[in-house]
Amino acid sequence: MKEISAGGVVFRRTPDKGLQIQLIQDRYGKVSLPKGKMEPGETVEQTALREIAEETGMQGIIIEPIDQIKYTYRHEQKGMVDKEVHYYLVEATGGSLQAQVEEIRGVDWFAPEEAWRRQRQSGYDNNDRIVAGALKLLGVEVKGS
């Protein structure tokens, strides 16, 4: 069985704080990115924007694709599932930061260097290249990427 999810690295530019990157804390306490399963009739892009809005309260527009993560996991009822997660660079255009408490513990904005430090310290390893890819697309050089 194949399962497709999508999400993104959301960023914004503010006059006082400059470039900021959004990170979530998932239900397991790990640093992560908003993402979720594709629903029938949706495109991958629509899935990414819907999931970002649902999990973080932010509306956005897709700037460009970052990369995909592929892995396999065992589901109790479905057996082995081939998972494919599409990540996009998304610019925040509106909404208000509000964590979907049923899904995640928290969401916040960070300076690019701090976002990278948090990802490396307490994020999922397979998200390293996603966050690094987003920062590169934004013109930010980080150590260890």
Tell me the domain boundaries of the chain: 2-137
* Interaxial angle between packed helices 112-122 and 128-137, expressed in degrees from 0 to 180 and rounded to the nearest 10: 170
Contact in structure between 134 and 127 (CB atoms under 8 Å): no
The pTM is what?
Answer: 0.92
Domain 2-137 has CATH 3.30.70.2860: no
Query: Hunting for tokens 């701090």 — which residue is that?
Result: 114
Per-residue pLDDT of the chain (145 residues), as tens digits, is 999 999 999 999 999 989 999 999 998 999 999 999 999 999 999 999 999 999 999 999 999 999 999 999 999 999 999 999 999 999 999 999 998 888 889 999 999 999 999 999 999 999 999 999 999 999 998 776 5
Number of H helices, E strands in the chain: 3, 7
Query: Cβ neighbours of residue 83 under 8 Å, at least 6 residues apart?
Result: 2, 3, 5, 69, 70, 71, 72, 73
